[in-house]
Amino acid sequence: MVHRLKHIMTNYYDLILVLIPIALLGIGGTLVGVGLPLPIAVPAAASVAIGLIGHALFVNDPSQPTPVPNSASTASPTPSQQPSE
């Protein structure tokens, strides 16, 4: 049986979820590795992670656009809204 690899489309938010621990561990570990003290390296790496989270929430927000009802659909009542005689 031949297994085919599916092309998985990762979106922006999946990428952000991967980059957060990379920023914390990778950047923090690199800064400690080059000789920066741990109490300075951790907040520096955390600021990068916070920047990623802030960008994902406020710059490229995940909200869907709110549909605006057109005037034709709101002008006449639907049959369920009409008074019964």
Cα separation of 66 and 17, whole Å?
A: 26
Contact 40, 27 (CB under 8 A): no
Say if residue 7's pLDDT is above 60: no
Is pTM beyond 0.85 here?
no
Q: What percent of the chain clears pLDDT 90, i.e. is strictly above it? A: 46
48-76 confidence digits (pLDDT tens):
999 999 998 888 777 766 677 776 555 55
Contact 50, 20 (CB under 8 A): no
| pLDDT given at position 59 | 85
Instruction: Kindly state the tokens that stand for 6.
Output: 């599916």
Output the average pLDDT for the chain. 80
Q: How far is CA 59 from the centre of its chain?
A: 10
Residue 62 has, within 13 A of its CA and on its CB side, a CA count of 9
